[in-house]
């Protein structure tokens, strides 16, 4: 059974407060693989996870839990990705290659939309991004490109992906989203009825995932910060939550 919404919200507020205690202080990040990229990337994703959490708490206060699902899903992505950076050699370069690949597709498509004259003007930018993709080609990795492989790279994290799929069902437009708004009604002509005041049936699970994802992001960033200033408090909160506070590489891929 997941913890109550109230207990999960309490953990979230403690984690947010712990992170905000560091506001304005200098953070000395580690240099790994000859670059601060991994540490800075984890820090940014932890910062983003905290901001997402504040938005989730605000929505929860207004009983808008199904609307919070995409934010929880993104927090899970931030936590897993930050953890991946913290324990994976050359993951900064791998992520940069994937970002360059996606940017190349974006600028190419935008140039096509802009028409032939603008497309011609954009060729220099496209060439620069294409060059970056080529320069980082040796660091291309499935883990950087696919979330399922990133999850599978972390020890003990395989369970995350099943819940990620659940969150995805309520994060995209489509037939699965209808589960929240319609219900079976065998004695009616249509066999189903539209809910006038739907209650999100996965609310407790949703709020239970948020502190785990936030803790993962904060722990990853702290692991890559010199001196690990919040390690003790993060471990204490993790113990109270009944979860693991150690991030390790694993070798059990998730079946596709």
User: What local confidence, expressed as pLDDT, does residue 123 receive?
Assistant: 78
Residue 181 lies in a domain: no
Residue 137 lies in a domain: yes
In the chain the first and final C-alpha atoms are separated, in Å, by 27
Residue 167 lies in a domain: yes
Please return the burial class of 256, using the count of CB atoms within 10 Å of its CB with bins 0-12, 13-18 and 19+. Answer: exposed
For tokens 């949703």, what's the residue? 206
Kindly report the pTM of this predicted structure: 0.91
Residue 229 lies in a domain: yes
Rounded CA gap, 60 and 42, in Å?
A: 26
Residue 15 lies in a domain: yes
Q: Residue 194: which H helix or E strand, with range?
A: strand 192-194
Domain range enclosing 162: 5-173+201-241
Structure tokens belonging to residue 225: 């910060």
Please return the burial class of 10, using the count of CB atoms within 10 Å of its CB with bins 0-12, 13-18 and 19+. Answer: middle
Cβ contact 207:11 at 8 Å:
no
Residue 212 lies in a domain: yes
Residue 226 lies in a domain: yes
Residue 252 lies in a domain: no
User: What local confidence, expressed as pLDDT, does residue 119 receive?
Assistant: 64
Number of domains in the chain: 1
Q: What is the mean pLDDT of each run of 10 residues along the chain (256 residues)?
A: 93 96 78 95 97 97 95 98 97 92 85 70 79 83 94 94 95 93 89 90 94 98 95 95 91 56
């Amino acid at each position: 059974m997941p913890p109550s919404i109230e207990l999960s919200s309490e953990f979230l507020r403690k984690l947010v407060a712990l992170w905000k205690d560091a506001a304005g202080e200098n953070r000395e990040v580690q240099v790994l693989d000859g670059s601060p990229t991994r540490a800075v990337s984890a820090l940014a994703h932890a910062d983003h996870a905290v901001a997402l959490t504040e938005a989730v708490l605000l929505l929860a206060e207004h009983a808008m839990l199904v609307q919070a699902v995409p934010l929880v899903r993104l927090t899970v992505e931030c936590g897993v990705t930050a953890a991946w950076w913290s324990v994976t050699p050359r993951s900064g370069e791998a992520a940069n290659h994937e970002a360059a690949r996606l940017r190349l597709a974006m600028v190419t498509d935008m140039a096509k939309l802009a028409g032939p004259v603008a497309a011609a003007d954009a060729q220099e930018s496209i060439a620069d991004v294409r060059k970056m993709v080529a320069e980082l080609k040796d660091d291309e990795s499935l883990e950087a490109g696919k979330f399922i492989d990133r999850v599978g790279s972390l020890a003990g994290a395989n369970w995350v992906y099943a819940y990620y799929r659940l969150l995805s069902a309520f994060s995209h437009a489509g037939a699965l989203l209808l589960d929240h708004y319609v219900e079976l009604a065998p004695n009616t002509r249509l066999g189903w009825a539209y809910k006038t005041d739907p209650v999100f049936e996965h609310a407790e699970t949703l709020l239970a995932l948020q502190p785990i994802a936030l803790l993962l992001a904060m722990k990853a960033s702290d692991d890559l910060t010199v001196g690990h200033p919040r390690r003790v408090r993060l471990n204490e909160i993790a113990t109270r939550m009944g979860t693991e506070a150690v991030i390790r590489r694993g070798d059990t891929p998730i079946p596709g």
